A and B are shown apart, each in its own frame.
Chain A
Amino acid sequence: MGGMTATDPSHVRDDPDDDGRPVGDASIWDRAAAAFTRWRGGDTRAMDDLVRLMTPVLWHVVRAYGLERSLAEDVVQTTWLTLVRRYESIAEDRAVAGWLTTCARREAWRTAKAHQRVRATEDVEIEPHLPAEVSAEDRAQLADSDSRLWRAVGILDERCRRLLRIVAFEERPDYARIAQDLAMPVGSIGPTRQRCLAKLRTALTGDGWTGDGWTGDVS
């Protein structure tokens, strides 16, 4: 969570396309930190902002572990309740997003291990749940790129899929912890991530991906 600067908290719900990477001058991680600081300062509503900001991120991180949806919801809830109970252990406000995702991954990993009948991530229902406000054309476009990307992801092994999903939704994934979860040496996470990306890119290139988007993509 580099370059921590004071950020205007009124931005919290402004950008639906926010993707966790810096947008303008405030990433989702900086905004999480700002909300947490305000909450610690006594602004109880700031916690709502933090929950709204980070719940979707936690959902994807937890689902990367292949937990079925009801279990994933429980893990996300446990993560929030753990924050309320243990927030005092977070030394630096700007570490809050990383603390949350680490807590969620730890809980997801424990839960996944405990449930022998966990369904594999790839069994996730594939029917698209697209936002209602998207136009029919955009939906066709999006559904098409989704299905192509989904197909390419499907070619990868489970370890690659899990790693890419975690990395995609976390700003600075805790490689040591992920390595432990995936039973991999920590030094191999970086190279594995590159190998997984390369495999994905190969599959996609054959399917029209140019590196900047899809060929003919209107956006």
Chain B
Amino acid sequence: MSAESDAELFRALRRTWEDLDPAPADLVDRMVAAVATADLSREYALLTLVSQTDLAAVRGDADALTLQFSDGTASVLVHVVPAESGLRRVDGWVDAPAVSIELEQDGRSWTTEPEHGRFAFEGVPAGMTRLRVVLAETTDAGAPADLRTPRFEV
């Protein structure tokens, strides 16, 4: 088959994917806004998932999960275990000077204060979750005010 007919087929495939699974209508605008904010100041740092360990095989727990997030400077370690009634317990540790930790789910949120970087949330419903770490004020220019994890499922 010729390169042109391959190209034609790829063109048709692109059109089909664009029609059937388009990017959300407001995604571009939100990305423009996110980049503009990040470009001007580092109000917050978005952490990325560095590693994920499924401890189930090791410990025999069905859903124990350890996640590590980092932005290259600070990192957050999260350990999730099942609790009663299908709820979750989320233990965490952050290596940056944090004043409070917020756990967000679909419009709900819980806040706790870490002790020596350690924090815990009990009775968290299963679902998509993200953490916001509010950092202590600093005089360092360009230092973020808070750290945010991407969404993860507990």
Contact = CB atoms under 8 A, between A and B. Distances in A.
Residues of B contacting A: mostly: helix
B74 interface: no
Interface of A: 19-21, 44, 47-48, 51-52, 55-56, 59-60, 63, 69-71, 73-78, 80-85, 107, 110-111, 113-117, 124-126, 128-130, 142-143, 145-146, 149-150, 153, 164-165, 167-169, 197-198, 200-201, 204, 211-213
Q: List the 4 closest pairs (A to B, CB-CB), nearest first.
A: A59-B23, A114-B52, A74-B150, A149-B16
B49 A114 contact: yes
Given A129-B22, A130-B19, A70 B151 contact: yes
9 contacts: A47-B36, A60-B17, A82-B48, A110-B48, A113-B52, A129-B22, A164-B13, A165-B17, A204-B9
A107 B15 CA distance: 25
A150 B20 contact: yes
A211 B150 contact: no
B39 A126 contact: no
Interface in B37-56: 38-39, 46, 48-49, 52, 54
Interface in B118-143: 128
A63 B19 contact: no
B8 A77 contact: no
Given A77-B34, A124-B20, A52 B28 contact: yes
Given A76-B31, A80-B35, A168 B23 contact: no
B18 A60 contact: yes
A198 B32 CA distance: 39
A129 B13 contact: no
A59 B48 CA distance: 18
Given A47-B39, A71-B151, 17 more contacts: A19-B14, A21-B7, A47-B36, A59-B23, A63-B21, A70-B128, A73-B30, A81-B34, A107-B48, A114-B67, A124-B20, A128-B19, A143-B19, A198-B1, A201-B1, A204-B9, A213-B8
